[in-house]
Amino acid sequence: MDKLKDNWLTDGLIDFEYKKYVLLAYLKKVKDSFQRVELYPFLSDLVFHYRNLITLRENKLLMAESFPKEISAERLKNLELSYRKIIEDDSVMRELESIMEYALPKFKASLDEGSYIYDYVESKCEISPIGLTSLYAHEGYLFVSQPPEKETDIYRYQVTFFEQSSEPMRGIHTTFVETSERNLVSTYENLKLSLIRRFTELPNPAVYLVNSKIKFPFLQTLMPVAKRLLVKEISKVG
């Protein structure tokens, strides 16, 4: 089981032992992934499911503001319809409440493990601007590097803003540009100048480097951490 369904709680047989089996099989996959230091997509899925259970337990309904912006309106609507059908069934609710009470600490333990790994990875990464910092930092380039490679992965990024729980939030979209070899001539500054010459629509781009001191799984771990580091760095600029 690589992914737990959004509506796993109400999908199929609503039985404590069955749901326990489903949950433990999923969490075994999560643990195996974390042992490989692969954080995503499981870490974001754990956050979703944990918030889902907390909200349902406390309110008996889903509230859109409790979830990340990435969840679609259709996804929320389907979950709400699924839960509304069982709210008024006392016997089913009692079974669901037993499942939730069992599942919540399990999710929390996995989240804590994932958060610990995330903090460790982040502690091994440094972010710094390349050249002069642009006054407009919401669009530019992200360089990502880690040992022992002598190459740098280059992404174009764009920061977006959205409202969540009446608070402004930042998201980020990245597009892969290229992988460039680093050497005495091809410095980070020269890579930046090359990008400016080739992509004239960004004449004075913000460019940031995330450099990891340790090699991590790139797509599953380092890149998601690098993107969050970038968002935090840009938020300091304004």
pLDDT over 90 for what percent of the chain? 57
Helix axis angle, 16-35 to 90-123, nearest 10°:
10
Under 8 Å between Cβ of 234 and 159 = yes
Domain boundaries, the chain: 16-122, 125-237
Q: Would you state the pLDDT for residue 162?
A: 53
Residue 229, token pair as written in the block: 């580091």
The pLDDT assigned to 155 comes to 98
47 has pLDDT over 80: yes
Reported as a single tens digit per residue, the pLDDT across 90-148 is 677 788 889 999 999 999 999 999 999 999 999 999 999 998 877 788 899 999 999 88
Q: Which of 3-7, 22-26, 202-206, 226-230 is least confident?
A: 3-7
What's the farthest any 2 CA atoms get from each other in the chain? 71
pLDDT at position 136 is 82
Q: Which phi and psi (to 5°) does residue 203 adopt?
A: -70, -25
pLDDT value for 49 = 93
pLDDT at 12: 82
pLDDT at 150: 85
**Inter-residue contact 153 to 181 (CB < 8 Å):** no
Phi, psi dihedrals of residue 39, rounded to the nearest 5°: -85, -35
pLDDT tens digits, one per residue of 10-24: 888 889 999 999 999
Using the structure block, give the residue that is written with the tokens 């920061």: 159
SS3 assignment, position 69: coil
In the numeric block, the tokens 């994932």 are attached to 114
State the pLDDT confidence band at 89, using cuts at 50, 70 and 90: low
Residue 42's pLDDT band, with cuts at 50, 70 and 90, is: very high
Whether 171 shows a pLDDT value over 90: the answer reads no
